[in-house]
Amino acid sequence: MATDLAEVQLQVRFVTKQEQYAVPDSPYAIQSNVQSSDLNTLVNALLKETNAGIEKAVEFDFLVCGELLCTTLAEHLQEKGASTEETLDIEYLERFPAPAPQDCLMHDDWVSAVQAHGSWILTGSYDNSIHIWSYKGQHKLAIPGHTSPVKAVSWVTFNGDKAVFVSGSHDQSAMLWVWDVSNNSVDCVVTCRSHDKGVECISVSADALKFATGSWDTNICLWSTSLSNEDNVPAKKRSKPDQGNTREPLSTLKGHREAVSGVQWMDFNTLLSSGWDHLLKLWDCELGGIKQEIAGNKAFFDVDWSPLNSSIIAASADRHIRLYDPRSTESIVKTTFTSHTGWVQSVRWSKTRDTLFLSAGYDGQVKLWETRSPRTPLYDLSGHEDKVLCCDWSNPSLLLSGSCDNTLRIFKAKHAVGNA
């Protein structure tokens, strides 16, 4: 059947949402055994005829029946059970350029947490320290303070020359810090204590007024990001002197039965969490109750939410990454992404493109995915020599990953592409 189909002529029409690359929408006859490289050549030839402003060839991906073309067109259509009789619409979009290694930032121990904002990168390490770097790789500060490995870091606010960030550690605390950028000095203003075991994950709300911590004690605590003393425990209640003032949580969300591995705000009142108890939970933070529960078949190690596509991605102990649509009334798992050969430890959505995300795993691999290509990652970002524990996006074209090989690697795409 595939051989017969490979020799068929198809009528196709090329369509795109990227107006600058539009070609005439009249049907063309092509052989069904073409691959995306052949289609690339054809679309670029059509572009050259109709748009003199485009001098260089553009690399495109091709979307057929809702999925990126990774095989011959014949095989793709056969798998999708699509008709070869009718004119086929092929959507094309500019391919995200391959990210190339840009920098390798050495730490003294495992790099367990990373978060970027604008020009600055925060990292947390197993040597109990936090680091601030410029996105060009310049080391600004090494910050002691925690007494156990730092497992989570997050920027809170940037205001002129003052930046606020928060860190969480296996020492059971979260710390709020103020960085004076011009003097390059940092102070711990508040220490947040309530968890009985290590803090594993942190998420700051979009309005930057509160943050959530998830812990090995199975609880999630919500905290104020205020730097004033109104939320803090009175001095006489403190058991021992601490860095900064000690603060108690605004509230505690109880419901997971094992360690909380990931937290993400979905809106000002809804928090998403993942746990080693095989559960994802959506919380109503005002009422302190669970809105929705999604069961997996293995421990979840990380979770992320994208406001661009209202979807969840979750990393799991079974090597698979799953995309969930919490609004769906049918199967909540929309897509499964399989390529890692070990535990997937970290997942992060692109902040600018609704179909791209990063994953990092115990197999030492960092992978860049397109949601419409579930069986094959767009790119494997190689370079780490040990387990990869965390990943993030710095801006549309900078990708970051931290590993047990004591490095933070920065990958840069040649240019950022517009949202497709």
pLDDT tens string 15-43: 999 999 999 989 999 999 999 999 999 99
Average pLDDT of 357-371? Answer: 97
What is the rounded end-to-end Cα distance, in angstroms, of the chain? 34
Higher-confidence residue of 229 and 270: namely 270
Apex 357 CA angle, 355 and 362, nearest 5: 150
- Identify the pLDDT of residue 83: 84
Higher-confidence residue of 296 and 241: namely 296
| pLDDT above 70: residue 418 | no
Of 218, 172, 210, nearest in space to 191 by CA: 172
| pLDDT above 90: residue 233 | no
- Identify the pLDDT of residue 243: 64
Domains of the chain by start residue, with CATH: 2-94 (3.10.20.90), 100-412 (2.130.10.10)
Compute how many other C-beta atoms are within 10 angstroms of the C-beta atom of residue 66.
8
- Distance, CA of 267 to CA of 245 (rounded, Å): 28
Entry pTM: 0.91
Torsion sign across C-alpha atoms 364, 369, 375, 379: negative
| pLDDT above 70: residue 250 | yes
Conformational region of residue 5, where left means phi above 0, alpha means psi within -120 to 50, and beta covers everything else: alpha
Cβ partners under 8 Å of residue 121, min gap 6: 114, 115, 132, 133, 134, 135, 394, 400, 408
The DSSP bridge partners found for residue 302 are: 315
pLDDT tier at 171, thresholds 50, 70, 90: very high
Of 346, 408, 383, nearest in space to 133 by CA: 408
pLDDT tens string 52-107: 778 889 999 999 999 999 999 999 999 988 888 889 999 999 998 899 999 999 99
